[in-house]
């Protein structure tokens, strides 16, 4: 099932033509209206008309979060504020705010793109969609709601209601689709298990999770525990919010909405394209955004392109689920570790995911990881030791593990904040 079949399954040649035409229009737009880009182009003596092929885009400099911060709040907007109907701000995982804007057309585009996400994840107009993403500066709640309404599904905006209320509404309103972060879905599952709520009292069929990295192990846990088919979807405020890339029911890579966004994967150090299929940093250029176009934006997210075509028929290039952010990698004795791998071991060892926090520190150039685990009861110390042992076995590194007070963890409001990186403070 597709939302816009003629676009999602566009022939590759036609797609390239469309991308090039849209890229040129976008470059003209930013050159005319955004001083940052004009300055960058002028410094290199290039003009938008010099970009004659998609490959020529490599001549254009990257845009970073730092650039956006320097032009805060409106310096990167390409339309006057009177044509902007919405302003969101990035969640600022690693720093201060970035403001992003949408024109009326951008909101229309956004609605269609998130409708694609929903349809690919199994949702139809007959579904009751519980959106447990927050509505506010964060783009998750609004963006996915637009898509669900565009599709004609019934939306319940539970936003950041507490877990027991999420479950009550899920039961009473017979929600068939749950949209939230994977960490909230795990908390919901945990509560259902602990309270012996029978699966038969729920009507859930689909789980569409995103906004954070999550693993195949977590997917299996959520699918079995909630009786759903769970898919991953990816996006970021600087580009549009949710609706950039999404899994279909094949669950084999995330399809890029390539008619609206151009994707590159580069080596984060050399900034050159990585060889096909290698891990690197995702760089995105918007092709249709009016108010806030973005040229070669370095997302900081690590992923790889996948070869071949998906049996679903969509032609958009696929990427593997995002492993984590560039800046979250911890290198210990030459071994690269992502916080998401630690989460996976925790889930594997305990069969559930307790509250936890990962603290990364650096002393004399050597990184170390401390995990604070929200475990209680008579098995806590034993579970913690087992976890440490498994980390050594599976990841080849040693971590410090400590028991934490459950009060230490604040409730998830927008996204779980589990990584405390003290290396640059």
- Where on the chain is the footprint of ligand DLL (CB under 6 A)? 90-91, 133, 138-140, 210-213, 232-237, 241-242, 299, 301, 321-322, 325
126: left (phi over 0), alpha (psi -120 to 50) or beta: alpha
Q: How far is the CB of 187 from ligand DLL (least distance, A)?
A: 17
Q: Which residue is nearest to ligand DLL (CB)?
A: 210
Question: Which H or E run contains 187?
Answer: helix 182-194
Q: Is 390 exposed, middle or buried (0-12, 13-18, 19+ CB in 10 A)?
A: middle
| CB-nearer residue toward ligand DLL: 20 or 118 | 118
Residue 334 DSSP symbol: T
| CB-nearer residue toward ligand DLL: 213 or 354 | 213
Kindly give the interhelix angle for 216-226 and 339-350, rounded to the nearest 10 degrees: 40
Q: How far is the CB of 114 from ligand DLL (least distance, A)?
A: 9
| CB-nearer residue toward ligand DLL: 318 or 404 | 318
**Are 213 and 340 a contacting pair, CB within 8 Å?**
yes
| CB-nearer residue toward ligand DLL: 158 or 383 | 158
Q: Locate all alpha helices (DSSP H) within 277-316, ordered by sequence.
A: none
| β 297-303/280-286 pair status | antiparallel
Half-sphere exposure at residue 341, Cβ-oriented, CA atoms within 13 angstroms: 20
| CB-nearer residue toward ligand DLL: 79 or 90 | 90
| CB-nearer residue toward ligand DLL: 30 or 239 | 239
Tokens 């399954």 correspond to what residue? 9
Q: How far is the CB of 241 from ligand DLL (least distance, A)?
A: 5
Q: Is 139 exposed, middle or buried (0-12, 13-18, 19+ CB in 10 A)?
A: buried
| CB-nearer residue toward ligand DLL: 31 or 229 | 229
Beta bridge partners, 129, equal 155, 177
Q: How far is the CB of 43 from ligand DLL (least distance, A)?
A: 27
**Are 177 and 200 a contacting pair, CB within 8 Å?**
no
Q: How far is the CB of 59 from ligand DLL (least distance, A)?
A: 25
């Amino acid at each position: 099932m597709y939302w816009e079949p003629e676009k999602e399954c566009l022939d590759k040649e036609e797609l390239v033509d469309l991308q090039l035409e849209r890229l040129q229009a976008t470059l003209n737009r930013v050159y005319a209206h955004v001083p940052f880009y004009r300055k960058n182009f002028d410094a290199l003596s290039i003009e938008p008309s010099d970009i004659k092929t998609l490959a020529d885009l490599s001549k254009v400099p990257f845009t970073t979060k730092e650039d956006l911060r320097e032009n805060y709040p409106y310096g990167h907007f390409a339309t006057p504020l009177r044509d902007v109907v919405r302003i969101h701000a990035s969640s600022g995982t690693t720093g201060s705010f970035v403001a992003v804007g949408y024109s009326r057309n951008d909101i229309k585009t956004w609605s269609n793109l998130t409708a694609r996400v929903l349809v690919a994840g199994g949702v139809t107009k007959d579904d009751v969609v519980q959106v447990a993403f927050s509505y506010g500066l964060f783009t998750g709640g609004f963006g996915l709601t637009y898509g669900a309404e565009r599709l004609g599904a019934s939306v319940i905006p539970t936003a950041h209601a507490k877990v027991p209320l999420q479950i009550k509404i899920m039961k009473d309103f017979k929600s068939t689709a749950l949209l939230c972060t994977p960490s909230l879905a795990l908390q919901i599952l945990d509560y259902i298990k602990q309270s012996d709520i029978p699966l038969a009292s729920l009507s859930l069929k689909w789980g569409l999770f995103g906004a954070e990295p999550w693993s195949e192990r977590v997917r299996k846990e959520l699918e079995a525990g909630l009786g759903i088919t769970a898919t991953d979807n990816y996006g970021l405020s600087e580009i549009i919010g949710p609706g950039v890339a999404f899994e279909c029911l094949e669950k084999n890579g995330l399809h890029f909405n390539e008619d609206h966004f151009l994707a590159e994967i580069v080596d984060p150090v050399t900034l050159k394209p990585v060889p096909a299929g290698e891990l690197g940093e995702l760089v995105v250029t918007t092709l249709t955004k009016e108010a806030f176009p973005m040229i070669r934006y370095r997302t900081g997210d690590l992923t790889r392109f996948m070869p071949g075509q998906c049996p679903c028929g969509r032609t958009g290039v696929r990427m593997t689920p995002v492993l984590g952010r560039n800046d979250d990698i911890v290198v210990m004795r030459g071994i690269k570790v992502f916080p998401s791998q630690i989460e996976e071991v925790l889930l594997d060892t305990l069969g559930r995911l307790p509250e936890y926090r990962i603290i990364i520190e650096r002393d004399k150039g050597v990184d170390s990881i401390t995990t604070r685990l929200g475990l209680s009861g008579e098995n806590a110390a034993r579970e913690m030791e087992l976890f440490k042992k498994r980390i050594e076995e599976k990841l080849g590194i040693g971590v410090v593990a400590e028991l934490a007070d459950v009060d230490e963890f604040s409730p998830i409001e927008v996204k779980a904040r589990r990584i405390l990186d003290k290396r640059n403070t």
